[in-house]
Amino acid sequence: MNKVIKLLAISLLISYQLNIENVMGQTKEKVKVAFSKAGPEEKYKLYTRLFLTEDPGIECVDMSGLSPAGAVGLLEGCSGLVLTGGNDVDPNLYQKKDQTGRCGVIDYTRDTLEIALIKKALEKGMPVFAICRGAQLLNVVEGGSLFIDIPGDLPNAVIHRNDQPEGASHDIELVPGSWLNTVVKSGRGQVNSYHHQGVERLAGPFTPWARAADGLIEAYGWKNPENKSLLIAVQWHPERMTANKLFSGLLAKKWIEAVYIYGVKK
């Protein structure tokens, strides 16, 4: 009986992979992926490098510097949106205006642009990959809130940021049965960490996929993923974790597969 189950699982896996390859083969033009900010600084170019490493055939479109209307118009021709890391999110967006002084640099222009991109991507049912600030802003747009400053707001917090170029690092525990747990086939892992803000109250449409030892949400996705494109939101920086493929390249690869599927359907 076990052999039969194993053979069936292998057969389903092969069938899935063939379907993905067939979908990719149907796409005659390069699939376009929008990046909320992909330059000009070298640290932002790491984001496109991560995804191009997994699939050199995609076309990366940098939305930074555009007007919200111009970016939304350009997004119409894309099949996926990557929300990259960066400055603190404006506390006015999650009812903590009085705590603005506890934030670092706030880029109001970037917030406005990316909010427009998020709303349009979700409206279109587009695959979204949100990283660090991107995961925070996405949560806020959907009605969640953030810790203004983790060391001051979260008792017994693990170290989520230091002054080293490689950042801090810490363990995460994956939620059993979550999409992330199923994909990486592990209940725990280690990730890098560069942030002092994080998800406080998770927005209603989402569910946690992983947490740090202090309880801080490190990854999340759709609570009800049926009939929705893949959404991956992580607090760590996969573009700086090229040696740890489970929590970087593998996630990028799975997400790109969803982008191709969306590209054929739209």
Catalytic, 76? Answer: no
Cα 231 to Cα 239: distance, rounded to the nearest angstrom: 17
**Closest by Cα among 217, 203, 220 to 144:** 203
Residue 163's Cβ-count burial label (10 Å; 0-12, 13-18, 19+) is exposed
**Residues in the chain, how many?**
266
User: Which is the catalytic residue, given 54, 200, 239, 257?
Assistant: 239
Residues 6+ apart with CB under 8 A from 69: 116
User: Which is the catalytic residue, given 160, 196, 237, 257?
Assistant: 237
Catalytic, 239? Answer: yes
Structure tokens at 207: 């569910």
Alpha helices in 101-248 (DSSP H): 108-124, 133-141, 150-153, 179-184
* CB 137 within 8 Å of CB 111: yes
User: Which is the catalytic residue, given 60, 78, 103, 132?
Assistant: 132
DSSP-derived 3-state class of residue 142:
coil
Catalytic, 237? Answer: yes
* CB 264 within 8 Å of CB 26: yes
Instruction: Please list the active-site residues.
Output: 132, 237, 239
